[in-house]
């Protein structure tokens, strides 16, 4: 897959676009792609940009150097608290909430499908980012780890909420309380990852899956995602009402007309996004 490179404004984040698939690569391998320096700001900015870019129909998020993301940079967090100044808890909370909105919330609410490609560790906030994606492809060396309990923290970036929705509150509490590593095979059995492949094949498998999904109608994909994401928050009556509205919108779209023509002509449809 030949990528068209997109400038992210940061050396810590790379972006490529090909065949309707945007690939964002966290590029801080010396720190296992921890969210440090200008990486969080660049990531939030690129998520917003790609969400509005019709060329990007599916997002793949991955990490360089054999890790996905180690979460926050513990060294820099410790330095900030050890500079002798009295911490401003309110200001720190505001900054964290903004970062969570810009990255975790934006990623979870992206208007197009997203896939996390996990070549290795997804720990702390990195686990949260992986869970915020719609699908996950892991290498055999990949694993999910809350990590917070080991350093006396409670967790951020939505990991507790996302994990509880995926595997239930009792299992999520056990994982968080014991700070337990969930290896790739167990993650597959629990439904936390969709595919497990050889480490060297993780990105290629994720991009191939993304390219397959990108071949479908963008409006239909967006509404499919909305329908499923809302399923846990509404009752069946409300779900039926939402489905009816979205079904008619797609029925009246140019892409549906193209799909119907392609079906009759026994060819692959060419969806434009209209």
Quick one: 33 and 87 in the same domain?
yes
How many structural domains are present in the chain? 2
User: What pLDDT does residue 76 have?
Assistant: 64
* pLDDT bracket for residue 3 (50, 70, 90): confident
For residue 59, which of 209, 229, 250 has the smallest C-alpha distance? Answer: 209
Residues recorded for the chain: 274
Whether residue 102 sits in one domain with residue 57: yes
Q: Where do the H-state alpha helices sit in the chain?
A: 39-51, 74-81, 89-100, 106-108, 125-132, 159-167, 169-178, 184-190, 202-214, 218-230, 236-251, 254-264
Pairing of strands 121-123, 114-118: unpaired
Q: How many CA atoms lie within 13 A of 58 on its CB side?
A: 26
Q: Which of 132-136, 214-218, 234-238, 270-274 has the lowest mean pLDDT?
A: 270-274
Same domain, 232 and 169: no
Angle 236-251/218-230 helices, nearest 10 degrees? 180
Task: Give the pLDDT confidence of 169-217 residue by residue, as tens digits.
Answer: 999 999 999 999 999 999 999 999 999 999 999 999 999 999 999 999 9
Whether residue 270 contacts residue 263, with contact meaning beta carbons closer than 8 Å, is answered with: no
**Per-residue pLDDT, 97:** 97
Predicted pLDDT at 169 = 97
Cα angle 158-122-55, degrees, rounded to a multiple of 5: 75
Q: Is residue 238 part of a domain?
A: yes
Same domain, 128 and 256: no
Q: What is the pLDDT of residues 91-138, one digit of tens each?
A: 999 999 999 999 999 999 999 999 999 999 999 999 999 999 999 999
CB 9 within 8 A of CB 42: yes
Count of H-run helices and E-run strands, the chain = 12, 10
Are residues 118 and 78 part of one domain?
yes
Query: Quick one: 155 and 168 in the same domain?
Result: yes
> Percent of the chain scored above 90 by pLDDT?
91
pLDDT at 78: 56
pLDDT at 77: 62
Residue 114 included in any domain:
yes
In this model, does residue 30 exceed pLDDT 90?
A: yes
**Is 80 exceeded by the pLDDT of residue 2?**
no
Q: Strands of 143-145's sheet, edge to edge?
A: 121-123, 143-145, 182-183
| pLDDT category of residue 81 using cuts at 50, 70 and 90 | low
Indicate if 144 and 208 belong to the same structural domain: yes
Q: How far apart are the first and last CA of the chain?
A: 25
Residues spanned by the domain of 117: 4-214
Q: Note whether 147 and 241 are same-domain residues.
A: no
Average pLDDT for 239-257: 97
Note the pLDDT tens digit of each residue in 39-61: 999 999 999 999 999 999 999 99
Tell me the CATH number at 228. Answer: 1.10.12
Let me know whether 103 and 224 are in one domain.
no
* pLDDT value, residue 59: 98
Q: How much is the mean pLDDT over the chain?
A: 95
pLDDT at res. 216: 97
Inside any domain, residue 273 = no
What's the CA gap between 60 and 115, in Å, rounded? 5
Residue with the larger pLDDT of the pair 57 and 72: 57
Q: The domain spanning residue 50 has which CATH number?
A: 3.90.226.10
152 and 181 part of one domain: yes
Q: Residue 258 CA to chain centroid, in angstroms?
A: 30
Q: Give ∠ CA 124-135-227 in degrees, rounded to 5.
A: 115
């Amino acid at each position: 897959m030949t990528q068209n490179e997109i400038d992210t404004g940061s050396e810590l984040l790379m972006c490529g676009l090909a065949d309707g698939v945007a690939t964002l690569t966290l590029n801080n391998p010396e720190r296992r792609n921890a969210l440090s320096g200008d990486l969080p700001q660049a990531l939030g900015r690129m998520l917003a940009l790609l969400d509005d870019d019709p060329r990007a129909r599916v997002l793949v998020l991955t990490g360089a150097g054999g890790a996905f993301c180690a979460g926050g940079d513990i060294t820099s967090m410790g330095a900030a608290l050890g500079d002798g100044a009295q911490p401003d808890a309110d200001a720190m909370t505001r900054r964290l909430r903004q970062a969570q909105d810009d990255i975790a919330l934006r990623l979870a609410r992206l208007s197009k499908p997203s896939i996390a490609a996990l070549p290795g560790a997804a720990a702390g906030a990195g686990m949260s980012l992986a869970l915020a994606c719609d699908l996950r492809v892991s290498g055999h060396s990949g694993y999910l780890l809350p990590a917070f309990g080991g350093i006396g923290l409670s967790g951020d970036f939505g990991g507790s909420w996302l994990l509880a929705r995926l595997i239930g509150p009792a299992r999520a509490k056990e994982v968080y309380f014991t700070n337990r590593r969930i290896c790739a095979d167990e993650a597959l059995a629990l439904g936390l990852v969709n595919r497990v492949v050889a480490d060297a094949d993780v990105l290629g498998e994720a991009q191939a899956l993304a390219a397959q999904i990108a071949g479908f109608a963008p409006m239909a994909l967006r509404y499919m995602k909305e329908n499923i994401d809302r399923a846990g928050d509404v009752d069946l009556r409300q779900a039926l009402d939402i489905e009816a509205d979205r079904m008619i919108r797609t029925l009246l779209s140019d892409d549906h007309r193209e799909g119907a023509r392609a079906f009759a002509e026994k060819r692959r449809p060419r969806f434009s996004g209209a």
